[in-house]
Amino acid sequence: MILFINIIITLNSTLKKLNAEVSQMKQTKVLVFKTLGQCVVLGCPWILGFFINGSEVLEIIFLILNSQQGTFIFLIYCVLNNEVRQQYRKFFRCLCGGHKKL
């Protein structure tokens, strides 16, 4: 919960520093989505961990979800970010297409 509040405060202060032309409503939606996504990614495996009670299947699911938290955070913050996707496209076009500048 403390992490959640800290993330909200940090992201809110970052949004205030953004360019005034950027839509505040869109940024708020992105902020809420990323915050909720991070809470799900970090919280759900540990909620599942309380219900293991010797079940090997739940232990394996718990292990897989915990080991993939970094991947899920990468997906939320990088792959779902339009600017990052554009840079990846430029990079892969450069690799596949020749000597274009990044």
Q: Where are the domains of the chain?
A: 30-102
The pLDDT confidence band at residue 47, using thresholds 50, 70 and 90, is: confident
Q: What is the per-residue pLDDT for 90? A: 92
Average pLDDT score, the chain: 82
Burial class (CB in 10 A: 0-12, 13-18, 19+), 62: buried
pLDDT at 24 over 80: no
Closest CA to 65 of 38, 45, 42: 45
Identify the DSSP state of 51: T
Decide which of 24 and 29 is more confident: 29
Whole-structure pTM value: 0.58
